[in-house]
Structure formats: structure tokens, C-alpha cells
Amino acid sequence: MGLYKVCGCGSSEDQDRVARRKARRAAWLRCRHNWFYTFTLPGQKAVRKGTMFRDKKSAQTELEEAKRNARLGQLGLAAAAPVTLSEFAREFLDRDVAVNTPRTLDSYEGAFTRVKAALGDRLLQDITTDDVQGYKADRMKDGMKPATINRELAFLRRVFNVALQRNRVSHTPFRHNGVVVVRLLREDNQRERYLTDEEETRLRAACEVSRCPWLLSVVVTALHAGMRRNEILTLRWRDVDLAKRRIVIRATNAKSHRKRVIPINDKLHTVLSGQRLDSAGAEKSAEALVFTNEADEPIKSLRTAWEGARDGAVLVNFHFHDLRHTFASRLAERGVPLLHVSKLLGHSTILMTQRYSHASEDALHDAVSRLDRPVEKFNVDSKLVDPVVSETPVTAVH
């Protein structure tokens, strides 16, 4: 029962039966022969079949799919409970996603709306690989970005995986015989856009004349804390300690689902202190949001206010998220180690921080211009033999 190979790799006539079996099983993980599998369901004959895989993981996946398909055929579940994509996806969202963060819920609900419009009326069991590939092609023709399409495909893939686990379908259009047949698009989210000092001056001026008095405070917070938009809008006073100068980003509000602490500098301290009172002049409670509108209500969207200020400041190709990029880039330019930048941004690995560590052209020019300067040697005639230090060491430019 299970996976095996029919080759004799690893065995030797000099070994006893037990030793030969152990040697063969160890060799199967390395040899270039394909795997076979066998299994038996109650009341059925044994199923024996060869796979086209040499690696055990892919063969195991095919075995599990074969057992699942055989079980569905035996119980008649696939034909007994037909369900449309819309019906099962709604069931999935109501039951399975309830334990996820609000950000995940919003992402899945948005993907569900778009997928439902194209494939919602189709029976889940009848959706094929060609249908999914066609959906991907149509979204590309509509001019959607690869990241957007990938989020929708990831949602659809998750729905089918859950349906397989519950025996609601006998296949997934994303895999065939253990091989991935629908691949996500390559994403290129690298951006090197960040504010110059002159652009920041213009943006601040535009925010000051905005009809939304809270906009400037939100922008300054993004520039001096590196927080994401959702993290700023959901920040509550229970997570802000002005005395100890620290902000706590809870795991439930973080994209990475990891808690992190952000120190508060002087400029950010001034901004947050200005948000401590509500419109009536009373101090906000610990559960109150830090940033609210004039009526002390949650800020539901930044889009209109932000785009008005951005356009007023004549910032070309600049997104709100680029304020976070500016925060990280300025830290890197000032010599802050990437490890510290990574922790402030809440990245799971330092590799993710590389994209935020681009030094400005002026900094790069200054680094290279150091090669034009003469190197001063130690003063060997001095009694103290002290080195003559006339320049600072070159720091790494990331």
C-alpha cells in the first residue's frame, strides 16, 4: 500500500532481506525511476498505477488525488451534491474566512465579486482548466495588473482546494495528475519613487489647504512611522504610548500578521499629540481611533482627499504607499542598518527590505566621488603614531 518503485536501485545480494528493503527505500529518493502507487478502498479491488514522477512529493500528490477520486466515485458524492461556484464560494467565505483578518476578508470579498461575474453560475464540478485560463486571459485584456489577477486566481484556487477537502468536487482545474497547470503571473511591484525634500514641501502645503483637516497628520505619520494606510486608519489610542514614545502595530492589523513596535520621533509626537482630543475638546478613550474625521467618525477612505492633495502638489506617478517607501529610503540613506529598517517595516525577512533601500542619486554620486579623493596614510613620524583621519568611511549603499 502506498508509494513504491519497481527498480532494484540500492539493493545488493550481499544484504539480507531487511537490509535490502531499507537500502532500496533510501535509493528510491535519489534514483531517476518513476514512482508507482497502490491502494484499496473497502469493497473494491486494489488500484495499482504508475506515475510519471521521479520525486516522491509529486507522486504522493497524485496518489491522494487518485484516492479522492475513487472515494467520490464509490460514494457518489460528486453527482449527488451539485453546487455552483457562487454557492460554494459564499459558503467558503461565511465559514472558513471568518477567522481571518479584516484585510483578508476585504481581499477575498473583492475577488469573489469579480470571479462570480464571470464564472459564478457554472457548476463547480464543470469548471475546467480552459475556463480558468480564459478568465485569466480576459482579465489581462481588461488591463488588470498581474498582482490583481493573481489575487483573484489565488482566491479561486483556495475555493477549489477546500471543495476537494470536503468531497464536493473530484478535481481542481489548477492541477492535473499532480502537475500545476494554471500558473500565476509574474509580478513586478518594484518601485523606486519617493519624495524629494522639495516635493515634500509642496505636498505639505497642499495638505494644509485640503478640505480634510486630518490629511496632513495622516501623511506625516506615514512619512515618520512607515505605516501602511490600513495600519494608520485602524490605529487606536490603546496602542499609542506618548510617554514612552512607542506605537504598537497589532498582528490583526498588520499585513504580515506579526506584531511590531515603532518608536515615535519628535515630529510624529507633535502630530499624535494634536489628535488626542475629540471635536468637543475631551480626551479620546483608549478604544477610540487616533485618526477620525471632523465628526469623530472613522475615516473610511483616503482616496479623494489624498488624490486632491497629490495633484495639487503636482506629484507625478506617486502613490500613498510611496510615503512608506520614502520613510525606508531615508533611513537607509542615513546609514540605518537594513535589519533595523526591516523590523520597522514589519518585513518577515530582510530580503523584502532590499526594494526599500534605494539610495538617492545624490547619495550614490557622493559615494563614487570618494574615489577621487587621495588616501591619507598613517603619520609614521608622529611620536604617538596616530592616524590622520580626514574622511569618514564609505558606508554600504543598498
Q: What whole-number distance in Å separates Cα of residue 125 and Cα of residue 170? A: 7
Residue 285 and residue 168 share a domain: no
Q: Is residue 163 part of a domain?
A: yes
Query: Does residue 379 fall inside a structural domain?
Result: no
Maximum distance among all alpha carbons in the chain?
97
Could you say which of 139, 151, 171, 347 is catalytic? 347
340 is catalytic: no
Catalytic choice (24, 139, 168, 228): 228
Low-confidence ranges of the chain (pLDDT < 70): 1, 10-15, 43, 52, 72-81, 96-103, 188-191, 355-365, 375-398
pLDDT at 22: 81
Summarised one tens digit per residue, pLDDT across range 301-350 is: 899 999 999 999 999 989 999 999 899 989 888 888 888 989 999 988 87
243 in helix, strand or coil? coil
Residues ≥6 apart with Cβ < 8 Å to 219: 203, 204, 207, 309, 323
Q: Does 160 lie in the same domain as 264?
A: no
| Residue 187: closest CA among 154, 155, 150, 132 | 150
Q: Could you identify the residue written with the cell 464564472?
A: 119
What integer pLDDT is reported at residue 256 of this predicted model?
Answer: 79
Q: Does an H or E element contain 108, and which?
A: helix 102-119
The answer to the question of residue 212 being in a domain is: yes
Residues 117 and 172 grouped into a single domain? yes
Take residue 164 and report the three cell numbers written for it.
476537494
- In terms of Cα–Cα distance, which of 206, 214, 194 is closest to 321? 194
Residues 277 and 336 in one domain: yes
Task: Say yes or no: 212 and 277 in one domain.
Answer: yes
Does residue 250 carry a catalytic annotation?
no
pLDDT at 380: 47
**DSSP labels for 6-59?**
-S-TT--TTS-HHHHHHHHHHHHTTSSSPPEEEE--TTSPPEEEE-S-SSHHHH
Tell me if residue 255 is catalytic. Answer: yes
Q: Is residue 215 situated within a structural domain?
A: yes
Q: Are residues 40 and 104 in the same domain?
A: no
Handedness of CA 65, 70, 75, 77 (dihedral sign): positive
Query: For position 72, what pLDDT does the model report?
Result: 65
Residues 157, 182: Cα–Cα separation, whole Å = 9
Same domain for 223 and 96? no
**Does 16 map to a domain?**
yes
Whether 228 is a known active-site residue: answer yes
The verdict on residue 291 lying in a domain is: yes
What is the residue range of 217's domain?
A: 197-356
**Domain annotation covers residue 371:** no
Residues 241 and 123 in one domain: no
Annotated catalytic residue 356: yes
Name the domain count of the chain: 3
Query: What is the pLDDT at residue 189?
Result: 62
Active site residue: 33, 202, 255, 284, which one? 255
- Residue at which a domain ends, from 41, 75, 109: 75
265 and 347 belong to one structural domain: yes
Task: Single out the residue in 15, 50, 75 at which a domain terminates.
Answer: 75
From 47, 75, 103, the end of a domain falls on 75
Put simply, whether the predicted model's pTM sits higher than 0.75 gets the answer: no
Catalytic residue among 171, 260, 324, 358: 324
| CATH code of residue 233 | 1.10.443.10
Centre a 10 Å sphere on the Cβ of residue 40 and count the other Cβ atoms it contains: 13
- What CATH number has the domain bearing residue 168? 1.10.150.130
Q: Which residue is catalytic, options 37, 108, 194, 356?
A: 356
- Residues 204, 318, single domain; the answer is yes
146 is a domain residue: yes
Which one is catalytic: 257, 321, 355, 398?
A: 321
Quick check: helix, strand or coil at residue 174?
Answer: coil
Asked if 64 and 87 sit in the same domain, the reply is: no
Q: 318 and 237 share a domain?
A: yes
Q: How far is residue 326's CA from residue 195's CA, in Å, rounded to a whole number?
A: 6
**Radius of gyration over alpha carbons of the chain, in Å?**
30
Triad 211, 216, 221: Cα angle to 5°: 150
